[in-house]
Amino acid sequence: MTIKHKTNFEALNWASSFLVKHGRDENTARLLLQYVLKTNYSGLMMRMHDELSQENSIRFEHYVFEHAKGRPVQYITGEEEFYGRTFQVDESVLIPRPETEELILGSLERVKRIFGTNKELNLADIGTGSGAIAITMKLEYPTASVTATDISEDALKTAKKNAKLLNADIDFRQGDLTEPIENEKWDIVLSNPPYIAFDEAKDMSEVVLEHEPHTALFAEENGLILYRKLAENLPNLLNKPALIGLEIGYTQGEEVVNFFKTNFPQANIEIVKDINKKNRIIFCEINE
């Protein structure tokens, strides 16, 4: 590999152009250089004309080439921002998305309306992945007792690491869907389950398909099986009042609502659109 960059500025210019030629976002070059230099945006701006060491130049080029081939920048740097906090991520978990922040925001608004503040509530996050939902809810509503489940042992390792780094007291349990939480009653159940139909893979980005865990992406019954099972399993596990919050695929709203109407006929069920005006979240409030 030829080292061609004398300064951070030259390296950044090369990488931005290189990534654009390979169909990637040029802004990723800056994120990768910040990662290599262990600095933030302001720090990079101040060091723009500093010399880039040979060691850092080699590392930077390697990361740029990796990203050009399709590896997400979050898996290269090992982190992603979520709700103002930094979470560690790797190929065992999905990269947290901004849409899921909207699930958190909507849940907190409803929890405070339904239960008030500072109540001792039992909250379960089903399919926790990186732990983003469970950890954020615990830190934003500290009096809640939060349990996070996942079928993947590797995902739970990542989630536990994040809980420790962010000082969040979470009870982690391994198992499928509601199985790990069946012996208790819950006030709040949140989930961002796999919801993509297998036949949708042909329309998806190769970046996602080749790097993010398929068990966290795809589900049977046209992506709906886990919503159906949640709707069937949760009635016996909830206190009253209770709140269920789910992230969904934007075409699945009506079908998921029907699952919950069948199993919670008295509940108040609503579909909430995300910032892009797509159906993204379902909230189910059970009061009687």
Ordered by start, the domain boundaries in the chain are 8-69, 83-286
pLDDT at 223: 61
pLDDT tens readout for residues 183-215:
999 999 999 875 454 444 444 455 544 544 444
Is residue 6 within 8 Å of residue 60, measured between CB atoms?
A: no
CATH numeric code, 83-286: 3.40.50.150
Extended strands (E) in 110-158: 122-126, 145-150
Average pLDDT in the 12-38 region? 92
Mean pLDDT of all residues belonging to the chain: 87
pLDDT at 222: 55
pLDDT at 1: 45
Tell me the three state secondary structure of residue 123: strand
pLDDT tens readout for residues 266-279:
999 999 999 889 88
Quote the CA–CA distance of 122 and 104 in Å, as a whole number.
16
Q: What percent of the chain has pLDDT over 90?
A: 68
**pLDDT at position 173 over 60:** yes
Q: How many CB atoms lie within 10 A of CB 182?
A: 11
pLDDT tens readout for residues 129-139:
999 999 999 99
pLDDT at 216: 44
Query: How many Å from the N-terminal Cα to the C-terminal Cα in the chain?
Result: 67
Q: How many CB atoms lie within 10 A of CB 269?
A: 17
pLDDT at 94: 84
pLDDT at 37: 93
Average pLDDT in the 58-79 region? 92
92 contacts: CB under 8 Å, gap ≥ 6: 152, 154, 155, 157, 158, 213
**pLDDT at position 218 over 90:** no
**pLDDT at position 142 over 70:** yes
Q: How confident is the model at residue 217 (pLDDT cuts 50, 70, 90)?
A: very low
Quote the CA–CA distance of 233 and 15 in Å, as a whole number.
50
pLDDT tens readout for residues 27-39:
999 999 999 999 9
102 contacts: CB under 8 Å, gap ≥ 6: 272, 274, 275, 280, 281
Q: Which two tokens stand for residue 170?
A: 């979470």
Torsion of CA 240, 245, 251, 253, to 10 degrees: 20
254 contacts: CB under 8 Å, gap ≥ 6: none
pLDDT tens readout for residues 224-277:
778 888 898 999 999 999 999 999 887 777 888 988 999 999 999 999 999 889
